[in-house]
Structure 1
Amino acid sequence: MQPSIIEMIYSQREEIMKRWEEEVQRVSENEMGRQLPYDKYNETNAEFIHLIIDTLELDQNEAKEKLRFFAERLIHAGWPLSYFTQGMQAFRRVLLETMTSNDSLQSKTVFTTFYEIESWIDGIINQLVDEYTGSWENTLHLQKLALKELSAPLIPVFEKISVMPLIGTIDTERAKLIMESLLEGIIEHRSQVVLIDITGVPVVDTMVAHHIIQASEAVRLVGAECILVGIRPEIAQTIVNLGIDLGKFPTRSTLRKGIETGLELTQRKIVDI
């Protein structure tokens, strides 16, 4: 940025900061002001505006590092992306209004000044948005890895009998993981009967039922029997209303009844001593 513009900003620094704090209070207070103590909200605003103006004195790498540290701290504390974008937009408005109201700003330098300020503000906004996006992408990636590790294990409960408990929503990507884990587990545990427990599945729609039917067909192709258990009354009603045909493989209302059926299929039973 041109030295003359930097000097102009610093000469009116206090006025710019005061007007910005008033402006950002109006645009952001409804979102964050209710969730934070008043002093904490004002303290963060003051830190934000000082950081913006101080970037003029820093080299590019140092300025980016300070912005990154500030953004990461607020992101981890739960501040929304709108706080950064609205705060920078408010700063742009205040700065341009202050600059244009200055009689020393000649008409021939207006467009140059606008371009310099726009480039500076846009650079800060882009970095803050990148930091916010990168943080959430990293969080989402870690959550997907955790879900993959916990998703649909095949658990051997008796010799030749295994259970796969399903919990949460089943989408196409997760259905593929379930299928892989199911088939690999059948071979590993030499299962003859597999119980798919949908007690923890909140909604069974046409797509979920389709994935379950595909899983049962795959189980049959590798020489095992599939039993669907954990069908709650509301799930049964949904299945009937949607006209979904689950008649190709046995169903049981509870895991216990499914295990009893599995024992019968492997020529065993539970007896009282």
Structure 2
Amino acid sequence: MENQLFKVVLNHSDEIVRLWMDEVYKNREKDYTATISNELFESTNREFVNVIFSSIENHGQTNGIENFAERLIYLGWPLSYLTDGMQVFRRVTVHYILKQLDAIDVEMCMEIISGVDHWIDPIINQLVNEYSGSWEHTVSLQKLALQELSAPLIPVMDNITIMPLIGTIDTERAKLIMENLLNGVIKHRADVVLIDITGVPVVDTMVAHHIIQAAEAVRLIGSTCILVGIRPEIAQTIVNLGINLEKFPTKSSLKRGIETALELTNSKIVSISDNQQGIEEILDSLDRERGK
């Protein structure tokens, strides 16, 4: 029976594909694929149905499924496109086979449905597995990339570095902050480190504890840590929670933090106009000396 079904499907593949495409286009109006260009949608559907028939012909063994799933992830297509498309193919195929047979009974009908399921289910399972595996791999790579950017230490001038923090700080990220902070202080030979929490939405007891630990670790290796970007609502939260930040300086803005860092490193910023004025005063003084 299965061989007979196989021949019917392959011999009438063009008609089955046409019916499948019609159903997919009808469903398109109900999902996000309505925003995709007609050219891309049609080419993707053609590739999809080729993968299905290739898998049926090779009894579920084909590399096309893996490549197709990876391409869909790259394009941002959802998993539902695969599963819905396979269910439509199952339904269209069963209906078409039933129309080709003149005399059928309940038992034969069940055999046809079972035979089609025997082809379709393994393809669905493989597509889902390949899609999920590729997606997990993509997410893991993105997670690593985000971790590299989540706690950067930026040298801004001699002996002064800044660590801007953005987003929520959890335990895992706090460990990364600590590692980057200590390694960066040694690498850049920083005397002062400014931790900017302007982009941290909430500072609770746990976040404050992690920041205090980081500041204490920096102090132990001979540098000073300044906490900057403390907004009024953050300051109120810190006071209400009874968090003690007396062990290291705090400033409301990055500008004030840099001013303090310059004082601690015996440095200052001199404007060009002030510098030019100073040079002119020296030259006038030399002229007066010559005049004497």
Common topology (TM > 0.5): yes
Aligned to 1:72: 70
SS across alignment from 1:162: strand
1:184 aligned onto 2:193:
no
* TM-aligned CA distance change 1:192 to 1:41, over 3 Å: closer
- Maintained 8 Å contact 2:21/2:45: yes
1:154-169 alignment runs, 5 A limit: 154-157=153-156, 160-169=159-168
Larger CA deviation: 174-183 vs 214-223: 214-223
- Residues 2-51 of structure 1, C-alpha deviations (whole Å, 9 max, x = no match): 31220232355455334323332333433244212335434433443344
Aligned to 1:87: 85
Aligned to 2:123: 124
* TM-aligned CA distance change 1:160 to 1:42, over 3 Å: closer
- Residues 170-211 of structure 1, C-alpha deviations (whole Å, 9 max, x = no match): 333222111111122334445443211223x25133243343
Distance 2:60 2:6 in 1: 15
Distance 2:104 2:53 in 1: 20
Aligned to 2:95: 97
Aligned to 1:134: 133
RMSD over aligned CA atoms reads: 3.2
Aligned to 2:284: none
Deviation at 1:240, TM superposition (A): 5.1
- Normalized against structure 2, the TM-score is what? 0.75
* TM-aligned CA distance change 1:105 to 1:202, over 3 Å: farther
Aligned to 2:195: 196
Aligned to 2:279: none
Aligned to 2:207: 208
Aligned to 1:243: 241
| 1:21 maps to amino acid | M
| 1:52 maps to amino acid | I
* TM-aligned CA distance change 1:29 to 1:52, over 3 Å: farther
Distance 2:10 2:104 in 1: 15
Aligned to 1:219: 218
SS across alignment from 2:202: coil
Distance 2:28 2:71 in 1: 18
- Normalized against structure 1, the TM-score is what? 0.79
SS across alignment from 2:31: helix
SS across alignment from 1:195: strand
Aligned to 1:19: 19
- Maintained 8 Å contact 1:229/1:255: yes
| 1:213 maps to amino acid | I
Distance 2:124 2:240 in 1: 48
| 1:245 maps to amino acid | I
List gaps (5 residues or longer) in structure 2: 276-292
List gaps (5 residues or longer) in structure 1: none
Distance 2:155 2:107 in 1: 80
- Maintained 8 Å contact 2:56/2:119: no
Deviation at 1:103, TM superposition (A): 4.0
| 1:255 maps to amino acid | L
Instruction: List structure 1 segments (4+ residues) > 6 angstroms apart after TM superposition.
Output: none
SS across alignment from 1:228: strand
Distance 2:181 2:38 in 1: 54
* TM-aligned CA distance change 1:99 to 1:244, over 3 Å: farther
| 2:72 maps to amino acid | L
Give aligned-pair identity as a percent. Answer: 51
- Residues 99-151 of structure 1, C-alpha deviations (whole Å, 9 max, x = no match): 45544455444444433322321221122223322332232232233233334
Deviation at 1:226, TM superposition (A): 1.8
| 1:117 maps to amino acid | V
* TM-aligned CA distance change 1:33 to 1:147, over 3 Å: closer
Deviation at 1:244, TM superposition (A): 6.1
1:255 aligned onto 2:279:
no
Deviation at 1:212, TM superposition (A): 1.9
1:37-56 alignment runs, 5 A limit: 37-56=37-56
Aligned to 2:285: none
